[in-house]
Structure formats: structure tokens, C-alpha cells
Structure 1
Amino acid sequence: MRPFVLTLTLTAALAAPAFALVPINEEPVIGEKLLQGFIGDAIADNCPTMQARKLRALGELNKLRDYALAQGYPSDVVREFVTSKEEKAKFKAKAADWLKAKGAEPGKPEAYCRIGEEEIARQSLIGSLLRSTR
């Protein structure tokens, strides 16, 4: 029995590095969902006929927090990540790049409105975070 337990223990110890978490700001699911949230915010901020669905956004943020915790990220790491000014600036820049690639530019609300309407029609996460007042 002892050789089996020793083998099992060694196997688990050697496999542990394979299960190591990537830094939270590099986790793809978290990054993609946060990016979509920042895109939705930028659309709502730049289109007069779009409103942010704040309760929906809060619900999605809570789901994302739960996902991060389930992946093994400690709550203090999650909290630090979502309150980081540096990370927020990075996501805002990525959202601006995404929107620019779709034709949106600051000062041109019609492009933001068009993208918002398209995302609502696609029923994407971005669209679910927006409400059109048209």
C-alpha cells in the first residue's frame, strides 16, 4: 500500500505545476468578458440613443467574479484586479481599438449607435448590456 500512496503523492506533486493559474489579467475568459463590458460602456457613453443596462452589467460582473473564484483565484486577487486603475486603462484602450476597427471614432456618435444596434441584434454580451432608446 505504501508504494501506491508514495507514487500517488509524487504524481500529484509533479502534476501540480501543470495546474498553476495564469495571472488573472491573462486568463482568456475573464479578459474577453471584461473587454465586452468595456466596449458596452464606451458605446453607452458615446451614443445618445444607447443606455447601459447597469443591473445586467452588475450581474455579469458577479458571474465573472464567481468564475474567477471557481478557477482558484483568491478573492483578494480578484478584487485587486477589478479595482486596478492600470488594468482599467488597458481595457479601455482595447475597447477603443475594437470600436475603431468597427468604424467608431470619438465625436461621431452615429458609428457607436450603429455598432450598439448591431450588437443588440446579434444578442451578444455587448448587446445584452445595452438598451436602445430609438
Structure 2
Amino acid sequence: MRAMTMTMALILSLTAGIASAKPHLRDVPEIDGTILAIGIADEIRKHCPSISARMFRALSVANGLKARARNLGYSDEEIDAYRKSDAERERLKAKRRAYLKQGGVTAGQPASYCVLGREEIKKGGQIGALLRMN
């Protein structure tokens, strides 16, 4: 009976550790998706002369992300490791390129960025909220 109690206690302690393990920040949609949106908005504003960034809003969103990650239990070290990771940057760049391509953007054609930018502003979603017409 004692061995069974000890076995159950061990199993419970191991499963509790597994259940409380945090996913990588890239797997937290509200964090990763918002970083992706900021990157897409930045690409649009860099390549479309008639659209600019809402810089204060972008900074506010970025600062809010760090606070949100902290509230989810991530340490500053975990947040910075994700933010500074070359692999994560490349992964997000690939997702950004795919989104832009799907949105009709052609590299080297500023007008295509402007079309997508205007659509995003009109939709009023996460990307459009970070942009404004000049």
C-alpha cells in the first residue's frame, strides 16, 4: 500500500509539472500574432510613401506585449530571448513575406504595398490600427 501511495504521489507531482509548463512565446497567439502584425505594418509603411506608422500606438502595443507576457508568467530573460532570437526573427520574416504575398504585394512595387495598407486601414484590424494615410 505504501509503495502504491508513493507511486501515485510521484505521478501526480510529475503531471503537475507538465501541466504548469509554459508554451514557448511563439506558441502564444496573442504575443506572436501581435509581433507579426507590427512587422507587417512596418513593412507596409517602409515601402508605401502615402502610408505612415502610428508610432505611439506601435510603441504602446509593443510595451503592452511585454507586460502581457510577464502577466502570463514569462520572465524578462524568456521574453528577451524570444525577442532577440535570430531563428524567431527569420520565422516571423517568412510569415510576414507570406502574408504580404497573399495580400497581393510584389517586392519592388510600392503601389502594391499601398493597396494592402489601405485595405488593412479600412478593415481596422490589428495591422490597420498601426497605420495611417499621410
TM category, shorter:
0.7 to 0.9
Q: Which runs of 5+ in 2 are unaligned?
A: 1-7
Tell which deviates more after alignment, 78-87 or 58-67.
Answer: 78-87
Could you state the TM-score of these two structures normalised by the residue count of structure 1? 0.84
Percent sequence identity over aligned pairs: 34
* Structure 1 position 55 matched with structure 2 position 51: no
Could you state the TM-score of these two structures normalised by the residue count of structure 2? 0.84
Q: Which residue identity is paired with 2:56?
A: L
In 2, the alpha carbon distance for the partners of 1:80 and 1:23 equals 11
Q: Secondary structure at the match of 1:66?
A: helix
Q: How many pairs does the alignment contain?
A: 126
Output aligned runs, 1:1-134, within 5 Å: 14-133=15-134
C-alpha displacement at 1:15, in angstroms? 2.8
In 2, the alpha carbon distance for the partners of 1:14 and 1:39 equals 39
Q: Which residue identity is paired with 1:85?
A: D
Q: Which runs of 5+ in 1 are unaligned?
A: 1-6
C-alpha displacement at 1:12, in angstroms? 7.0
In 1, the alpha carbon distance for the partners of 2:48 and 2:34 equals 21
Q: Secondary structure at the match of 1:125?
A: coil
